[in-house]
Amino acid sequence: MPTRQLGNSDLQITRVGFGAWGISGEGWAFSWGPQDDNESVAAIHRALEMGVNWIDTAAVYGLGHSEEVVARALSEWRGPRPYVFTKCARVWNERREVSTVLKADSILRECEASLRRLRADAIDLYQIHWPAQENPADNEEAWTALQKLKSQGKIRFAGVSNWG
């Protein structure tokens, strides 16, 4: 499968990746409905068999469930490990209501939670999910947190998702 360089990184990614929003399950505001986790794992494996080398997920997808399914699929996968991209800054409360939080302490906690759910030591690409657009200065604290995570080796690269 053809690859291309991702931005200014050293990542060579396939032109097609596996988007894991659809495997997030039910019970949250942006659900695609009930999903069978075994079928989701099989779908990830099939994508990897076809040559896909990256998976995109987010902490908010299924309120963490998508990351857990990705981790399970990768733990059962015997081929080359794909790159894993996930996102931060979309958090939920006990009522499962989702909001954007760009504060550094939140992003640092979110990263630790994603690493646990993904059963990973580092995230290949960690993205701010829906950054502030009306007042982009609100993103500065989030970027500072991402730089800290990168210096700690918890993320390899940082980016944004859904800008514009």
List, by residue number, the catalytic residues.
61
- Measured over the CA atoms of residue 119, residue 121, residue 122 and residue 126, the dihedral's sign is positive
Contact 1, 51 (CB under 8 A): yes
Distance in angstroms (rounded) separating the CA atoms of residues 98 and 88: 12
Nearest to 85 by CA among 7, 158, 23: 158
